[in-house]
Amino acid sequence: MTVSDYFSNTAAPSSSDTLNRVGCPSREILDHVTSRWGVLILAALLERSYRFSELRRRIGGISEKMLAETLRALERDGFVHRDAQPVIPPHVDYSLTPLGREVGEQVWALTQWVERQVPTVFKARDAYDAARAKTG
Amino acid sequence: MTVSDYFSNTAAPSSSDTLNRVGCPSREILDHVTSRWGVLILAALLERSYRFSELRRRIGGISEKMLAETLRALERDGFVHRDAQPVIPPHVDYSLTPLGREVGEQVWALTQWVERQVPTVFKARDAYDAARAKTG
DNA sequence: CAGGATCCGTAACGATACTG
DNA sequence: CAGTATCGTTACGGATCCTG
């Protein structure tokens, strides 16, 4: 499937032949899994299942709000399974669904690829900045 | 390489063993290529090279500012090649570097995967919403 | 413990006007 | 044509307080 095929078959609010499909559902889903916290949550849950506060500590720096919101979005999309045991105090386990494991691994692969290219990217940035300093 | 290995070897401003490496360079690079406009620009340039305004029309709905900013970020990272011919009126071609083609294809693969799962995700959402309507 | 509700600041984004 | 500069808005994210 080509890029052109891909983007021409779905209704676009703006124009008919545009890459930018506003409000496109796949774009929204992609945002959930590639968002700042989405990536980290998927990565953590790729290790094992976690409880809410446990996950919060594991990730570090994430607010309760964002953890809850991102988890809910991922759960609603079918990537995360929420297992709430009706005990007091509450005990809730979060884990990846098979579908979630699939995306998680792909996002994770991309993350690793990017990480491997960091030195290369830095060299490119140095070259870019140097060229800019000269010509200005 | 495991998730744990991956996130434990870089300096983290907050804590030492956290998934969240604030200001992490790979995270910034990942943002550039998975951002709303980054994804679309990479997709377009996967087809062929484009001139600035041409690219703007091809993507649709992107402002000049965002196109310029995103292109500059991708160029600086070494993913996009900018060929400015010194003529009047200016003629500038944007294309992918080999490195850019690599990320582009990966991001594109992820986008396609997500697109294929849209029906599945929608079913999951329906189930989620239905369960919420009852208990919620 | 697991979250929901609320308030608030910032930074990202869009629209517009202008320039080489 | 290919941008840069500026400004106004908005939506995202963080901090805090509260509840079952």
- What is the identity of the amino acid at B14? S
Q: Is B79 (CB) below 7 Å from strand D?
A: no
CB-based contact B44:B59 (threshold 8 Å):
yes
State the best of B27, B47, B121 to mutate against chain A, taking most chain A CBs within 10 Å: B121
Point out the nucleotide closest to B61 (alpha carbon to C1′): C14
Residues in chain A where the model's pLDDT stays below 50:
9-16
- Which three-class secondary structure string do you get for A14-44? CCCCCCCCCCCHHHHHHHHHHCHHHHHHHHH
Is residue B15 predicted with pLDDT exceeding 50?
no
The pLDDT value recorded for residue A1 is 78
Locate all alpha helices (DSSP H) within chain A, ordered by sequence. 3-8, 25-34, 36-47, 52-59, 64-76, 98-135
- pLDDT greater at residue B76 or residue B14: B76
Structure-token match 């396609």, residue found: B112
Decide: residue A87, CB within 10 A, 0-12 exposed, 13-18 middle, 19+ buried.
exposed
% of chain B beyond a pLDDT of 90: 76
Q: Which two tokens stand for residue A44?
A: 């953590």
Q: For residues B82 and B41, what is the distance between their CA atoms, to the nearest angstrom?
A: 13
Q: For residues A104 and A106, what is the distance between their CA atoms, to the nearest angstrom?
A: 5
Is residue B7 predicted with pLDDT exceeding 70?
no
User: CB–CB of B19 and A40 under 8 A?
Assistant: yes
Count CA within 13 A, CB hemisphere, residue B126.
Answer: 6
Q: Which tens digits make up the pLDDT trace of B17-54?
A: 667 766 688 999 999 999 999 999 999 999 999 999 99
Q: Which tens digits make up the pLDDT trace of A21-42?
A: 666 889 899 999 999 999 999 9
> For residue A82, is it left (φ>0), alpha (ψ between -120 and 50) or beta?
beta
The pLDDT value recorded for residue B13 is 45
CA distance A77 to chain B (A): 5
The pLDDT value recorded for residue B20 is 72
Is the pTM for the entire model greater than 0.85? yes
The pLDDT value recorded for residue B22 is 64
Q: Is B91 (CB) below 7 Å from strand D?
A: yes
The pLDDT value recorded for residue B79 is 98
